[in-house]
Amino acid sequence: MAPVSLRGSALCAAALFTFAFVFSTGADFIRFVSFRAIYHNITGETALCQDWVPWRVALRDRSVLYALLVDAALLALFTTQHSVLAWAPVKRACEAVLGVLHRAAYCFTTALALQILMLLWQPVTSAPCLWAVRGAPWSVWFPLLCFTLHFLCWAVICSVLLLFDFPELLGIKQVYYECLGDPLPHQSPGMRRLLSHLRHPVCLELLVVLWLLPALSLDRLLLAGALSAYLALAHALDKQDLAFLCGRLSGKPRLWATPDGGGDDGDGKSK
């Protein structure tokens, strides 16, 4: 029993460490992508750009080009990690090697890639902004409006994540059932199908967070454009997915055909 107990303790420690790291990274990402960008404008003035510099001069500035190149490389690192580890052959290999920790490892490496992106991100301050809200009273009120809408969007995102079985997405549930010695309950076919087509829920809220800002600098354009394109490419929702999701939200589960010819009520129970 000692080796089993020691193994269970190690698994729990790894899962809890991953949860804490992902949670702190999520808080850092919210600050990075939302509130830090708005903070520069909250007084009514922006220090993110130099509008007096002509675009033809800014786009030839080596510091601007270097910053954009570094930022593009960081975005490539994050999207590559997030996509390659979600690729079916790599996912099966990770499951074979890591066992119940494979999901926690995926979340940990995703958080690590985000931390690297945020730590090494190069702001572009030697070029004009694509837009900047100036002039009273909007120079004060519009940043406050952005702050409010960003706060509401992140609240919605965190709420919706709970509907997608947050403990399982972070790999905590897998470790919990492993330590209990019970098999992990399978997700319903409808939920598995939905998650395969909707890897990143609440896209509308994420798009609002990425684009609704008092000032849009070149590096923010690169960040918002790359992540928006990645979100769009990672979705393939159809009517069946939307009907299943509506059933979950309304509390009225629908029946879907299961591989054995039965039905599924959306909670993993076949009928």
pLDDT in tens, 216-238: 999 999 999 999 998 888 655 44
Alpha-carbon torsion, ordered 207, 213, 218, 224, to 10 deg: -10
pLDDT for 257 beyond 50: no
pLDDT on residue 171: 84
Going by C-alpha positions, the residue among 39, 1, 270, 61 that lies closest to residue 147 is: 39
The stretch 206-222 carries a mean pLDDT of 92
How large is the C-alpha radius of gyration of the chain? 22
- pLDDT above 90 covers what percent of the chain? 35
Rounded mean pLDDT of 244-251?
A: 54
**Cis omega before residue 137 (within 30°)?**
yes
Confidence check: pLDDT of 65 > 50: yes
Identify the pLDDT of residue 79.
93
Judged against a pLDDT cut of 80, whether residue 185 lies above it is answered with no
Give residue 262's pLDDT.
43
